[in-house]
Chain A
Amino acid sequence: GAGVSQSPSNKVTEKGKDVELRCDPISGHTALYWYRQRLGQGLEFLIYFQGNSAPDKSGLPSDRFSAERTGESVSTLTIQRTQQEDSAVYLCASIAGRSSYEQYFGPGTRLTVT
């Protein structure tokens, strides 16, 4: 079956503009994560969705960042008033359920803020 897909693959935007990143998880996967990976760094947890439970937003770095997910489908990560320090690869991962350890990652969106 299809893996996790993300769009766009690359995004260049001007400082101050808003951007929206999209993640399509594997069908049937109940949990979804967003991560940020800066150059030379590990993955930084941003937000976690599990079914219809309230999301864990504890990793969002500022109120300019928000994410939504409807049910067990597509998720969007929105960054408002982008800053140069937001430049990074944004990765999405989904897992089958609470008891699963294995995260399946998408290819990421490379965001460049000029």
Chain B
Amino acid sequence: TQLLEQSPQFLSIQEGENLTVYCNSSSVFSSLQWYRQEPGEGPVLLVTVVTGGEVKKLKRLTFQFGDARKDSSLHITAAQPGDTGLYLCAGGSNYKLTFGKGTLLTVNP
């Protein structure tokens, strides 16, 4: 069974701070995705990474896929209250995604 562990589970920070959340597995995935989910809504895809060592930037968000394609990190620079939400990582294998439990981020003004 493939498992994805996300850490930390909860994170509460002040506006303007930087943060990094992690997604780790003992399994190799063909792709890794990050989603953000807000209350009462479905997850929304932020990024897909497929190559070991790949780094992608989306405005203030930087995503990295580990060289061995088993882990990933999401770094947010100068967090804003609008970044508040549940951040989920998901590992892709064939057509299935395995989701982590998520990091619940709260950015306080």
Instruction: Mark A residues whose CB is within 8 Å of B.
Output: 4, 31, 35, 40-45, 48, 50, 56, 91, 93, 98, 101-108
Size of the chain B interface, CB-CB below 8 angstroms = 22
**Complex: A105 Cα to B42 Cα, angstroms:** 5
Q: Given A101-B31, A101-B33, A101-B92: A43 and B45 within 8 A (CB)?
A: no
CB-contacts of B17-57 with A (<8 A): 31, 33, 40-45, 48, 50
CB-CB under 8 A from B95, the residues of chain A are 31, 48, 50, 56, 98
Residues of the B chain whose Cβ atoms lie less than 8 Å from the Cβ of A104:
45
- Interface residues, chain B, with chain A CB atoms under 8 Å away: 4, 31, 33, 40-45, 48, 50, 88, 90, 92, 95-102
In this complex, the member of A4, A31, A40, A42 whose beta carbon has the largest number of chain B beta carbons within 10 angstroms is: A42
Q: Answer whether A102 and B41 are a contact pair too, CB < 8 Å, given A43-B88, A50-B95.
A: no
Specify which of B4, B43, B48, B96 lies most central, judged by the most chain A CB atoms within 10 Å of its CB: B43
Q: Can you list 16 A-B pairs with a CB-CB distance of less than 8 A?
A: A31-B95, A35-B99, A42-B4, A42-B102, A43-B43, A43-B99, A44-B99, A56-B95, A93-B42, A101-B31, A101-B50, A102-B48, A103-B43, A105-B44, A106-B42, A107-B40
Beta-carbon nearest neighbor of A9 in chain B: B40
Nearest CB in chain B to that of A106: its residue: B42
Verify A42–B99 contact, CB threshold 8 A: yes
Residues of B within 8 A of A93 (CB): 42
